[in-house]
Structure 1
């Protein structure tokens, strides 16, 4: 008896053998649609449960992979229509008031996706209609831009331009016509052109000496509260956001004021390197009486030899393989660094 026959007869191991090769790419698909690691995991579990219960309805006219994508896409559309989103959170550090932001973010539910989980997903060949590189299509800028699209346009763009499914395949997945798919794709592409920033310079290659140098400079400047060294790493139009807090800061002076405010408040952190969304990332550790505890994640977007975007996630996401806490006493913060940062707040506020 083959795997499909065994799975239809109720063999759970056979079902896992059939679906496991597609699990990680389906999770990434759900993440692109929902923008949240946790929501994507929930949608993946719903997909697998629906596939298990509905295996008798798989008629073999499409591949099992395509059938699973159909289920996953529609589960994500259901989640988007239900509007169950992680709520925005207000600034809640007692005794501090951040500088006036340049804007308020809409996508407060955004979460990072660990690079450690991407290998299996990126090993799958894309279809002939794909227009985006795999690494580009998981970047924070790309995922953020996707979240603004209407749900049906979002699904069509991912299925067509990211995964490379043909128009008739997408029409079957969404129970619609090829003409509707083409129309939705045209509008989705226009929306992405408006929202997706075009980098003036390409980032350094992954794990290259140039990338490592920028990250090392950022770590050194941030851990020592050296505002001048930190600002020197930013592009003129650098952008900083911090989901789920909706505050956004755009431009070197604005981001400098916020970083100087953090340093002046006496908050100190240690940073440990990792990767998220195909980009360099840093786990944030804060001092506690028992040592240092994970307190979030920075994801850096690089342009040439500088940082063009800085996303600070306040909550640690599972999957990065880093410890939740570190033993031992934290490195002492320099009094001079805090004093200089206080002066910088005053200077930036003029």
Structure 2
């Protein structure tokens, strides 16, 4: 008996992640064989190329909306039935079927995209807001950060808690004021504008986690902070600006 699982969400995430990689490795090997020219067969024993192909496909999965991604992975990768998926996600079977239909269609569309997609870019307005938030945060000017919040702002501290409204969300910044293990930089997480969080004592290390923001009329409407779900950064494609 290995005892209780300290982080069930992270444990489940890694199971799904590893199962998806196994599934995608098999698909990558199948695509590598050419029916026309035996000399063009790719050696399936090449683990580096295999992992790169699987990781690229996993990145495609991560570009699906959450409901579609969950439904497709749980059915097509992990092999759960519609009823099992419905029970686990607390969603109706028609909704699961719709998410599967849209998710599979989106995957086919994404598979047709060229490999050399352009690097994502921020609009001038997005860059201004993101940099203002980061500059104030790094300066520990949390009163100025609070001034950027919309009245109806929502916070998800992933795998930990949810807060709603300016008053509740305002307490979140106090937690950051008490620790020194972060420095924010602008970037992208899965092609979405994001704050990438680095350890100031190890600036050459990859970002430890990321934070997603959404704005409305120049005010911060939602915050999704993965500080307590750092396993997400292990699979996400992160790009520092």
TM-score range, shorter chain: 0.5 to 0.7
- Rounded to whole Å, the distance in 2 between the matches of 1:5 and 1:302 is 52
Other-structure match for 2:129: 214
Other-structure match for 1:149: 91
Other-structure match for 1:225: 140
Under a length normalisation based on structure 2, what TM-score does the superposition of the two structures give? Answer: 0.56
Other-structure match for 1:281: 194
Other-structure match for 1:4: 35
Aligned pairs (5 A) from 1:159-308: 159-160=101-102, 163=105, 207-245=122-160, 247-263=161-177, 265-267=178-180, 269-288=182-201, 294-308=207-221
The change in CA–CA distance for 1:261 and 1:243 in structure 2 (over 3 A counts) is closer
- Rounded to whole Å, the distance in 2 between the matches of 1:26 and 1:283 is 20
CA RMSD of aligned residues (A): 4.6
Task: Identify unmatched segments of 5+ residues in structure 2.
Answer: 1-32, 45-51, 108-119
Distance apart, 1:320 and its partner CA: 1.4
Aligned length: 180
- Rounded to whole Å, the distance in 1 between the matches of 2:190 and 2:131 is 19
Q: 1:208-237: per-residue Cα shift (whole Å, max 9, x none)? A: 111111011101111111122101211111
> Secondary structure in 2 aligned to 1:271?
strand
The change in CA–CA distance for 1:22 and 1:260 in structure 2 (over 3 A counts) is closer
The change in CA–CA distance for 1:286 and 1:25 in structure 2 (over 3 A counts) is closer
> Secondary structure in 2 aligned to 1:78?
coil
Distance apart, 1:4 and its partner CA: 3.4
Q: Which aligned segments of 4 or more residues in structure 1 are displaced greater than 4 angstroms?
A: 20-27, 79-83, 290-293
The change in CA–CA distance for 1:79 and 1:230 in structure 2 (over 3 A counts) is farther
Aligned pairs (5 A) from 1:98-137: none
The change in CA–CA distance for 1:80 and 1:162 in structure 2 (over 3 A counts) is closer
The change in CA–CA distance for 1:277 and 1:23 in structure 2 (over 3 A counts) is closer
Distance apart, 1:26 and its partner CA: 7.1
The change in CA–CA distance for 1:253 and 1:221 in structure 2 (over 3 A counts) is same
The more displaced of 267-276 and 307-316 is 267-276
> Secondary structure in 2 aligned to 1:255?
helix
Out of 1, 15, 28, the position equivalent to 2:60 is: 28
Task: Identify unmatched segments of 5+ residues in structure 1.
Answer: 15-19, 44-71, 84-106, 108-146, 166-204, 323-350
Other-structure match for 2:23: none
Under a length normalisation based on structure 1, what TM-score does the superposition of the two structures give? Answer: 0.40
CA contact (8 A) 1:271 1:284 kept: yes
- Rounded to whole Å, the distance in 2 between the matches of 1:274 and 1:80 is 37
- Rounded to whole Å, the distance in 2 between the matches of 1:243 and 1:267 is 20
- Rounded to whole Å, the distance in 1 between the matches of 2:126 and 2:41 is 48
Other-structure match for 1:320: 238
